């Protein structure tokens, strides 16, 4: 493994320790798009996995009410789509009922 790869792996590990329940690759993609296209937040599709027993309908209504994002429910999960930056993803991830957040980010339409 090259020295560059070692530093990259260390960086990913450090990033994963900052927001422990969010996929590191999602964070990297969002931050890349924020810097590459700074005029508009990336379009993000979040897959939010909740702990067993959590009322998903209540979480769905909270997500819609607080952030205005359309959501879909799944098996112990919500899918949330909207323009988001890394700060908003971090805020969402602080919900104590969330086990893990993953997803994808793409450039938003202008």
* Residues of the chain scoring pLDDT < 50: none
Q: Answer whether 97's CB lies under 8 Å from 50's CB.
A: yes
pLDDT at residue 108, rounded to an integer: 84
* Residue 36 tokens, joined: 């590459």
- In order of their start, the domains of the chain are 3-106 (3.30.70)
d(CA 32, CA 100): 21
Beta strands in 8-83 (DSSP E): 43-50, 71-74, 77-83
Q: Answer whether 103's CB lies under 8 Å from 43's CB.
A: no
Helix (H) or strand (E) holding 63: helix 56-67
């Amino acid at each position: 493994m090259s020295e560059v790869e070692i530093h990259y792996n260390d960086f990913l590990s450090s990033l994963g320790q900052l927001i422990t329940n969010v996929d590191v690759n999602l964070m990297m993609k969002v931050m890349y798009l924020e810097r590459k296209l700074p005029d508009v937040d990336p379009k993000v599709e979040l897959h939010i996995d909740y702990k067993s027993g959590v009322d998903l309908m209540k979480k769905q209504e909270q997500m819609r009410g607080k952030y205005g994002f359309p959501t879909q429910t799944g098996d112990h999960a919500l899918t949330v789509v909207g323009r988001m930056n890394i700060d908003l993803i971090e805020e969402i991830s602080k919900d104590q009922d969330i086990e893990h957040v993953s997803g994808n980010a793409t450039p938003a339409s202008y």
